[in-house]
Structure formats: C-alpha cells, structure tokens
Amino acid sequence: MNKPQIHNMNQEPINQPNTELEPQEILFSTAIEMLDSRRKTTTHGNRYQATLDGRKRQLEIGLCTGSKDVIEAQEGILSEALCYIVLTDLGIPITISTGDDDMNGIDFYIMDKPVDVTSNTNPEKLSNKLMRDSSTILCTPRFQNQKMLQLGRTYPKVLDEYLKGTFDSTQYCKALISINAHFKQILIQNLDTRHKPKEVMYLKGVKKKHIYQLENTLHRISSCL
C-alpha cells in the first residue's frame, strides 16, 4: 500500500496501515489516524476538537470490542476511511484533508481536486453540501448491489463485507462510479425544476459546474482502473 498523505504537506503523514492486521483493525486504525491528523491541522477552537475527540473515543471502543453500535454511530468516518483505503490500494492519488479543510466540507483531495465523500444521501444533507459549494460531492457505496441513491436500510452493508474479508476493491470502485453516474443524472434533472419528473429527488443549489466537476472526477477515477 502506498504511503498515506494528508493534504497539508507541512504536516507528517498518517502511519501506513499494516496489511497484516485484520480488516477491522486496518479500518478503525485508519479512521482514528484521519481524525488525529485533522485535529493537528485545524485552527478551529475547542468545539471542533472535542467533536473529533469524542468520535475517536467511540472508534477506540469499537476497535477493542467490534461493537455494531459503534459501526452504526460512526458509519460516516468509517466510510471515509474505507474509501481512502480502497483508492490508495488501487493506486489512485488521494490525500486526506486538513482539519480546516474538513470544516469547509472537504474530506479528501483526489488527484489534487477537493472532494466531499458522503454515505448520507438525504436530500436536505446533499442540498446543504451543494449550497456550500466548496468541493465535488462523491456518494460512497453503502449496500451490496446498490444501484440507486434512495434505498431503505438493508443489509449486508459494504462495511460489513470489508470487515468479513469478502470485500473487493475494484468492485467497490465500480460501484462508486455507477452510483455517482446516477447522482449526476439527478443533478442534471435538478438544473431545471420546471421540467423535473416528480419521482426525482429534489435538490437545492445545483449548478452546472457541480455536474462538470463530478463527471471529471469519475473520469479520472475510471482511467486508473
């Protein structure tokens, strides 16, 4: 696995995950070190740092116990960590955002482009991200055989597949591209709400540049497979 980096090159990179560890240890340790690196690279105050510390404590409990409750509660950062692990494994250039970047809605730089990865496809949450307008939004896979953005909570989850050792990085990346190709169509349909089909997810703040940025990011990821 390539040496993980955070985007602020003046800071030390997070430790390289030990591939001899069990999947749970790799995933949780990566998530914890991402939180640590962001805490070290933020100029924001105690409230943001306390939030990171609380998430870290929960992850440390999950690392020791394998608690499903922790996995549910920390699905966001664990999904980020999994995305980071996968793209790094596949040799796709990715660096972790600083704490200040994180506060501005940037999780990673994929091929030097700011990206906000999310496993939460709630229309209100997505609209808030679009209106913040700071990065490309990339929806990460959550469910086995996921094809559409709007799904009920069903199992098994992608995280479960990884933890069980039945996970395939290339298939994950293909699912990532497929899901976001669908997301791109939703963005296109929301450009002109007067002619948008009623069954299409309603999103606020959609701009043409969001579609171009997403399309460009997907093309760059696809070219690395």
| Closest to 223 in 3D by CA, of 124, 111, 147, 140 | 111
Give the integer Cα–Cα distance in Å for 183 and 28: 28
Mean pLDDT over the full length of the chain:
83
Q: Which pLDDT tens digit goes with each residue over 67-121?
A: 788 888 888 899 999 999 999 999 999 999 999 999 999 999 999 999 999 988 8
45 to each of 40, 51, 55, 158, how far by Cα in Å? Answer: 12, 11, 16, 34
Three-class secondary structure of residue 137 per DSSP: strand
Q: What average pLDDT does range 11-22 have in this prediction?
A: 56
Give the integer Cα–Cα distance in Å for 99 and 224: 28
Residue spans per domain, the chain: 23-222
Cβ distance 54 to 189 under 8 Å?
no
**Beta partners for 115?**
108, 136
Q: What average pLDDT does range 29-42 have in this prediction?
A: 94
Q: Which pLDDT tens digit goes with each residue over 97-108?
A: 999 999 999 999
Q: Which pLDDT tens digit goes with each residue over 130-150?
A: 999 999 999 988 754 454 455
Cβ distance 78 to 23 under 8 Å?
no
Give the integer Cα–Cα distance in Å for 18 and 16: 6
